[in-house]
Amino acid sequence: MDVRRWAAGAAVLLSAGMLANCSQIFGGESGEGVTTAMLVGADGDSANWISHGRTYSEQRFSPLDAVNRDNVGQLGLAWYADMDTARGQEATPIVIDGKLYLTTAWSKVKAFDATTGAKLWEYDPEVPGETGVKACCDVVNRGLAAYGDKLFFGTLDGRLIALDRNTGKPVWEKVTVDQSKSYTITGAPRVIDGKVIIGNGGAEFGVRGFVAAYSADTGEQLWKFFTVPEGGDAKDQPAYLQKAAETWNMDVLGANDAIGGGGTVWDSMAYDPELDLLYIGVGNGSPWNRAYRSPAKDGSGGEGDNLYLSSIVAIRPKTGEYVWHYQTTPGETWDFTATQHIMLADMEIEGKLRKVLMQAPKNGFFYVIDRETGKFISAKPYVSINWATGIDPATGRPIENPEARVDRTGKPALVMPGALGGHNWHPMAFSPTEKLVYIPAFEAGMMYAPESGWKPDKARGFNVGFNLGAGDLPPDGGFRKQVAGTLRGMLVAWDPVAQKPRWTVEHPGPWNGGLLATGGGLVFQGTAGSEFNAYDAANGKKLWSFAAQTGVVAPPVTYTVNGEQYVAVLAGWGGAYAITVDGDLLERKAPVRNISRLLVFKLGGKAQLPAPPASADLPLDPPPSTAPAQVIAVGQTKYARYCAVCHAPGAVGSTVLPDLRRAGALESAATWSAVVHDGALKDRGMASFAGSLSKDEIEAIRAYVIKRANEDKALEAGKKIARR
């Protein structure tokens, strides 16, 4: 028998829905559960969504076509479930045999009947609230992995937990990080041949990155792969780290354990079973500013490529052995991570079928590289950039703009993209029919201003080596309007062979949701404008829209039960952009708040969401600003380093976390100190900053927030007068 013809025929049967309910074939309560063979062959299981990207290739394409271009207008809400965490929701659901499993903010897990929405069980790992200050980008979680009869997920405080899939009861738990340091886990694990693989975050705070594998049966650690060398003498480290050490100033890296080097593996992974290669995306440096992380011996700034920061690294999943790497941003100094979605595909390039790996990392270039060897194939900008003019085709290295090299010039520079990138964690999707990659892209520059005399802080706050207050916007409505006008959000349909966009959909602003492509010729995406939309995969025409009542940043999935197709997405505004960007800019682009829900759709669905609750913003009514200018200046500096990461630049808060300009504690120095110094609200995520800030500095921050609140109150009053 022609095996290829048989496989093709089987794929046709599956995509047509003839084997849509595959519980007897693909396991379940009466079978052996999820197996290695099922994960390798997940592309043939159109009924379920059994791993993070549906398949090891992470294409996020489903062949299901019952919902298609012709009938998507009949899509309606089948059911919804309210979440109990009003923070950013970023998870990809897992669907197995008619049951849907997901994680939510604060690392909680829930299970539902995938057709009715009936809650089956829930599990709360009880992450300590004060862990929230260790998270750079909200207390999010991106999902689960399944193997055997277990589900696996990471917690914000660095644990890896295995749950019984049928009951939600914990089977084992493993602490994967040094919890005395600012490590977190927000990404979803992957399982390869019974090994649960998980990374972590924390590079903004001074940690050293790694990824590790654990036994799915017992939780025993099987191997650990560090992404940057340990400081000091590298001769006793593995060969790949000895090679990396040649690209660092090892004297500095070893002199202070608060400079951990960074390189955290906080999100993206993909696996090629044929090559037996696991691909990991490595993050930014710690601190960002290379002049402090790896200074030149002559004091001229930063030096060295600093491997394996901002790299895609291929390793053997059985042993953790290094195979190859490709560095997207050598000597990274702008938080240009390579942790963004990694996708695998086979495609014809210049008349030859190539096994490729594709990525649109933060630095603004879309990369196609050979996944067998790591050799560069091509790269072009998918958003506006100014830090480089292109990629040298001979070396695969960026052709840099010297003025953007702030770690060498020591001078501020407005750089495009900014630290949030041209594309962040939000997953892309690939249509093998259209041969397009769909990118949730955006444009938002950043002012990088090197901080003179910077010192790391092991206790709290961002350890990045830049003055994070340098880009604060003045209380000037006209200027703010101009800045808001420079922010863009786009859905870009990218041709990876031609390296150019085929079409683009403009969104109200940045930070729109992850993507799903389907055999019905559709692309699904949520938006920061509180919509969940379906587009024609061929031309980007909007074919259907649902008012979600909240920003949707998570990626959708699709599945079938008893032959009926469903589309599901976890809605809930939050994440890095929502909490770290000036709240006034957010309001000007797309006013949005968090109403966290799981939304599930089917053709002819008749369910209705309740009316959204009335908005109830606290008034902007601060006490008078009476502190001396020098005290306010100290407060501004300390606020930028320790507070802005959660409460937004310039104290202009958003709707996800408290807007400090409107906080009741602003009225009382004693109450303010009890919260910031004593940790009175630590169980709600506001830990004590006593180890980093003196009481005088904490009071100076209050004085700065009071000043800013009064400035913005006057600005609001001016708007009201102008409207009369």
Catalytic (active-site) positions: 335
CB contact at 8 A, 427 and 267: no
Sheet with 429-431: strands ordered across: 429-431, 436-443, 488-495, 500-507
Three-state DSSP state, 391? strand
CB contact at 8 A, 198 and 154: yes
Give burial (CB, 10 Å; 0-12/13-18/19+) of 239. Answer: exposed
Phi-psi map region of 96: left, alpha, beta (phi>0 left; psi -120 to 50 alpha): beta
Helix axes 695-723, 629-642, angle to 10 degrees: 100
DSSP element (H, E) containing 137: none
Quick one: three-class SS letters along 536-566?
ECCCCCEEEEEECCCCCCCCCEEEEECCEEE
Torsion (CA) 381, 386, 391, 397 in degrees, nearest 10: -130
Q: How many CB atoms lie within 10 A of CB 71?
A: 14
Three-state DSSP state, 64? coil
- Give the distance, in angstroms, between the CA of residue 266 and the centroid of all CA atoms in the same chain: 8
Torsion (CA) 178, 182, 188, 192 in degrees, nearest 10: -30
DSSP element (H, E) containing 436: strand 436-443
As a whole number of angstroms, the distance between CA 198 and CA 102 comes to 17
Q: Which two tokens stand for residue 679?
A: 């940790």
Q: Which two tokens stand for residue 387?
A: 């830090």
β-bridge partners, 143: 92
Return the CA Rg of the chain.
25
Which amino acid would we find at residue 459?
Answer: A
CB contact at 8 A, 357 and 343: yes
Which amino acid would we find at residue 467?
Answer: N
CB contact at 8 A, 524 and 533: yes
As a whole number of angstroms, the distance between CA 476 and CA 582 comes to 13
As a whole number of angstroms, the distance between CA 471 and CA 474 comes to 9
The upper half-sphere exposure of residue 665, i.e. CA atoms within 13 Å in the direction of its Cβ, equals 18
- Where does 221-268 show beta strands of DSSP type E? 221-226, 261-262
Q: Which two tokens stand for residue 285?
A: 């440096």
Q: Which two tokens stand for residue 1?
A: 């028998």
- Where does 591-636 show beta strands of DSSP type E? 597-603
CB contact at 8 A, 371 and 279: yes
DSSP-assigned letter for residue 143: B
As a whole number of angstroms, the distance between CA 177 and CA 135 comes to 14
CB contact at 8 A, 280 and 298: no
Phi-psi map region of 299: left, alpha, beta (phi>0 left; psi -120 to 50 alpha): left
CB contact at 8 A, 646 and 659: no
DSSP secondary structure of 583-598: HHHHHHH-------EE
